[in-house]
């Protein structure tokens, strides 16, 4: 099973609300005791499947595949949430999850911020090109509030990107 870029795009808040009876904190502790939560660690997906007590079917229903994917992605989200306060993050390499070395964090931080900036730019273009004359008064008020928020987000991202580039080159 591969995740492509899903690790980077997932919303961690959704994984914290998912309750499937798995003790994710215990799995984190097991991985930590095995030394898999350190910089440079490689965590085989087979180990993740084993700890989750799941077996990806070679043939199955969409629901069966989604259950496996949801459990793995929930664990990945929890791991990311636990690692971030320690200055660590996860990346996917084929059949492994990897905790890159600390020296890779600056590049990763800039990459995240640049991705966010592109999304803000897309949102900005959408707002600029939105036909205001097709809205009622309430719609125009909401639109103006949204427009202010996107300008604030854009300014905040630009500031953060400049800080990252100045600190890390």
Q: What pLDDT digit, counting tens, does each position of 18-33 carry?
A: 567 788 889 999 999 9
Domain termination residue (choose one: 66, 85, 100): 100
Q: Which residue has the higher pLDDT, 17 or 146?
A: 146
Distance CA 130, CA 133 (A): 9
Same domain (yes/no): 28, 108: no
Number of domains making up the chain: 2
Domain termination residue (choose one: 76, 100, 124): 100
**CA separation (Å) from 10 to 57, 94, 117?**
24, 18, 17
Domain termination residue (choose one: 46, 73, 100): 100
CA atoms within 13 A on the CB side of 100: 15
Rounded mean pLDDT, 91-115:
88
Domain that holds residue 114: 104-168
Q: What pLDDT digit, counting tens, does each position of 126-135 carry?
A: 888 989 899 8
> Is 1 a member of any domain?
no
Strand order in the sheet with 96-98: 42-44, 96-98, 91-93
pTM, entire model:
0.66
Same domain (yes/no): 136, 81: no
> Is 59 a member of any domain?
yes
């Amino acid at each position: 099973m591969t995740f492509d870029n899903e690790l980077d795009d997932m919303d961690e808040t959704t994984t914290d609300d998912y309750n499937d009876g798995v003790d994710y904190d215990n799995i984190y502790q097991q991985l930590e005791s095995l030394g898999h939560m350190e910089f440079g660690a490689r965590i085989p997906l087979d180990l993740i499947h084993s700890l989750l007590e799941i077996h990806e079917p070679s043939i199955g229903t969409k629901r069966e595949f989604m259950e496996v994917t949801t459990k793995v992605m929930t664990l990945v989200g929890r791991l990311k949430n636990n690692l971030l306060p320690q200055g660590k993050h996860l990346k996917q390499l084929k059949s492994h999850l990897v905790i890159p070395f600390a020296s890779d964090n600056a590049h990763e931080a800039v990459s995240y911020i640049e991705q966010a900036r592109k999304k803000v730019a897309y949102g900005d273009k959408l707002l600029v090109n939105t036909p205001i004359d097709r809205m009622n008064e309430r719609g125009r008020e909401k639109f103006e509030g949204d427009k202010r928020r996107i300008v604030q987000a854009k300014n905040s991202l630009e500031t953060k990107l400049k800080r990252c580039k100045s600190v890390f080159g």
